[in-house]
Structure formats: structure tokens, C-alpha cells
Homo-oligomer: A and B are copies of this chain.
Amino acid sequence: MASGGGVEEVTNKQVLFKEYVSGLPKESNMHVSTSGTIKLKVPEGSNAILVKNLYLSCDPYMRPRMDQPTPGSQSYVDSFKPGSPIVGFGVAKVVDSGNPKFKKGDLVWGKTGWEEYSLITDVQNLLKIKHTDVPLSYYTGILGMPGLTAYSGFYEVCSPKKGEYVFISAASGAVGQLVGQFAKLLGCYVVGSAGSKEKVDLLKNKFKFDEAFNYKEEPDLDAALKRYFPEGIDIYFENVGGKMLDAVLLNMKTHGRIAVCGMISQYNLEKLEGVHNLVHMIYKRVQMKAFVFSDYYHLYPKFMDLVLPHIAEGKIVYLEDIAEGLESGPAALVGLFSGLNVGKQVVLVAQE
């Protein structure tokens, strides 16, 4: 197609989803294409916006999106479309707008495509970035979906109280590191688990958790939890599922709460692991509640009011793992599922 009416058409590098995945995803499940082009203008009469993508977010929930859709099991996420770009959260700059809510030059965060430029037709949950005195990449993490996930999951789902015993799995990840810091600010005792010595050190030294351990070095997770929580766990922030959940269920205190944020250990399994100790929920009257940040968009302003001053004062820190260039996207996303990332995994597509 030739460009007409003075509209600039440019090449648009894309990360395309190639095929449905079973098991651990591989870089080869995606394909970096340089053959596409895009007009830097929204179609006449459309209320879409056209953006230049700056940062893309790699998140665990993207793994279930790679599964072949099964009839009748509508999830809160649809599967990716083979042949189309990966879709996820990102930070972008508006290049052209057919929508009165946005204008050229606006910075936004929300759902976008893994490509240099995206035409976004569903702008409902696209948020304008008002505070730019923080790294823009933060809007893929601490100030974006993972941040609101940590905030709503901890404060709304867990009903935390000062002095309570809090355990967080995948604790150095995009969400976990924040939950732990929120819990510490509230005066909780906080322990995190992670998958390497480097991450354990970060939890203790950078994020100021009370304790942390490497789950890969614990042959008996139940014993490990009993060591750190001799009196039991009030709040478990669940990011991994499987064996860890089974061990946690043996160590919950009466009226304990489990916020189910994710179960990354299960996403790549062809056969899901069995959790055997649910009966212990009864003995301890445990609540287990799964949640999704998007049910809490209304809390975003309140969340920002809390977190921005803490960032400015250095009371909350945030660790990112930034891969440079759209080409590095597949490796960055795949690395998430073997824990290669240290902190929030971001892909830098373009500087502003």
C-alpha cells in the first residue's frame, strides 16, 4: 500500500507470536519481523490512538496467553493470536490521536503491542502518565500493573495488620518486592523466597525484608517455613503455587489469608501439580482469594498518592531488569519462566 495524503509510512518492527506453546516457552515461539509498515496517523473517523512504544512489560500472566485456547474455559486473558504481535502492558507516546482524551505527545501506559508503533483502538484502560519525575519504565512496574497488583493484593485482599507475619514467594519479582516493602512499612514481619543467592541478598539488603531464603536449596519447604515462622503465617502472598502452596498450607495461622496473585510454577506444566493440604484451610479457617489488579483501577489515584512520596524519599525502592531493544523481547519474556530476570523485567524499545 502506498502512503497517500502526505501520511508518513514507516517500517514497524514487531515481535510476532508464532504458535501455541505447551511446556516451557522458547524464543522460537516468537519471531521478530521487520517486514511490516505502519502509517503514523489514525484512520479517518476512528477514535483510536497511534503510539510509539517506549517500554514493554514482561509478566508471568503472559504465559497462559500462549496456551491453545480451550473451549469453555474463558480466562480473564485471551490467548495470543498466532501471526499477530505479542500484546502486553507498556509505556508509549502518542503520535496521533483520534480520541479527545489523548493528544499528540501524551505519555500513556496500558495495553499495547510488541512493536515499534501500535494503533490502539481500545483506549478504555489506557492511563495518561502525569508524573514524569520518575523513570518512565516505572509505569511497567511499580507505577503500573505490578504496582497496583501489589497494592490491591496486599491492602485490599490481605487486610493486613501491624505486627502480622507475612510470607511472599517469588519475592524479588515485579510484584513481590513491592508487597514486601508495603508490609515492612506497615510494621509486619516479612520473609520472602526466591530462586538464587543474588535474589535472596537483594531481599534482605535492598528491600529490607526481615528474612529471605532460596527455595531451591530447601529440600523440605515445610521445615523451612517452620524455621522462619515458628508461630505460623498470617498472610501469604502467593505468586508461585504448587509445592510452595502445599507447604504454606501446613503453616498458616488461624484466620490466615492467602492472596492468590499468580502461580508461575504451574503455567509451564502440561499436567498441573496437585495441592494436597487444602484440608488444613478448614482447621485454621484460612481464606484464599485470587484477584486481578484490573478490579481495582479505582484505587489507582490512592495508590499513587501513597507510593510517589515513598519513592521520592527513598522509602520504597524498585529494581528493574531492562533488556535493550525489541529484538531482546523474546529472550526477556522466556527468561521470566526460568527466573533469569532479577527484578521487574522490562524491554526498552525506544528512548522518548
**Chain A interfacial positions (CB closer than 8 Å to B):** 64, 72-77, 226, 241, 245, 250, 254, 260-263, 266-267, 271-292, 295
Interface pair B64/A283, CB less than 8 Å apart: yes
A-B contact pairs, 6 of them (CB 8 A): A74-B283, A75-B284, A76-B254, A76-B284, A272-B276, A282-B292
Which listed residue (B72, B263, B278) contacts A279, Cβ 8 A?
B263
B-chain residues with CB within 8 Å of residue A273 when the two chains form the complex: 274, 276
Residue of B nearest to A282 (CB): B290
Indicate how many identical chains form the complex: 2
Residue of B nearest to A76 (CB): B283
Interface pair B285/A292, CB less than 8 Å apart: yes
Which listed residue (B74, B76, B245) contacts A278, Cβ 8 A?
B245
Interface pair B254/A281, CB less than 8 Å apart: no
Bound CA span A254–B76, Å: 9
Bound CA span A162–B281, Å: 28
Bound CA span A241–B274, Å: 13
Interface pair A263/B278, CB less than 8 Å apart: yes
Which listed residue (B76, B263, B276, B285) contacts A285, Cβ 8 A?
B76
B-chain residues with CB within 8 Å of residue A292 when the two chains form the complex: 282, 285
User: Which of A271, A273, A279, A281 has the most B CB atoms < 10 Å from its CB?
Assistant: A279
Which 6 pairs from chain A and chain B are nearest by CB?
Answer: A274-B274, A75-B283, A281-B290, A272-B276, A287-B289, A282-B290
Interface pair B291/A290, CB less than 8 Å apart: no
Bound CA span A283–B266, Å: 13
B-chain residues with CB within 8 Å of residue A271 when the two chains form the complex: 276
Bound CA span A292–B261, Å: 25
- Chain B nearest CB: distance from A288 CB in Å? 5
Bound CA span A277–B286, Å: 18
Beyond A267-B279, A288-B289, 13 additional contacts (C-beta under 8 Å) are A64-B283, A75-B284, A77-B283, A260-B278, A260-B282, A263-B279, A266-B279, A273-B274, A273-B276, A274-B276, A281-B288, A284-B290, A287-B288
B-chain residues with CB within 8 Å of residue A245 when the two chains form the complex: 278
B-chain residues with CB within 8 Å of residue A274 when the two chains form the complex: 273-276
Interface pair B279/A285, CB less than 8 Å apart: no
Bound CA span A267–B278, Å: 12
Interface pair B279/A241, CB less than 8 Å apart: yes
B-chain residues with CB within 8 Å of residue A263 when the two chains form the complex: 278-279, 282
Bound CA span A310–B72, Å: 39
Bound CA span A280–B281, Å: 18
Interface pair B272/A277, CB less than 8 Å apart: yes
User: Which of A226, A274, A282 has the most B CB atoms < 10 Å from its CB?
Assistant: A282
Bound CA span A262–B279, Å: 8
B-chain residues with CB within 8 Å of residue A280 when the two chains form the complex: 73
Bound CA span A76–B280, Å: 10
- Chain B nearest CB: distance from A165 CB in Å? 15
B-chain residues with CB within 8 Å of residue A75 when the two chains form the complex: 283-284
Interface pair B287/A290, CB less than 8 Å apart: yes
- Chain B nearest CB: distance from A236 CB in Å? 13
Interface pair A290/B286, CB less than 8 Å apart: yes
Residue of B nearest to A266 (CB): B279
Which listed residue (B260, B279, B284, B285) contacts A281, Cβ 8 A?
B260
B-chain residues with CB within 8 Å of residue A272 when the two chains form the complex: 276-279
- Chain B nearest CB: distance from A334 CB in Å? 20
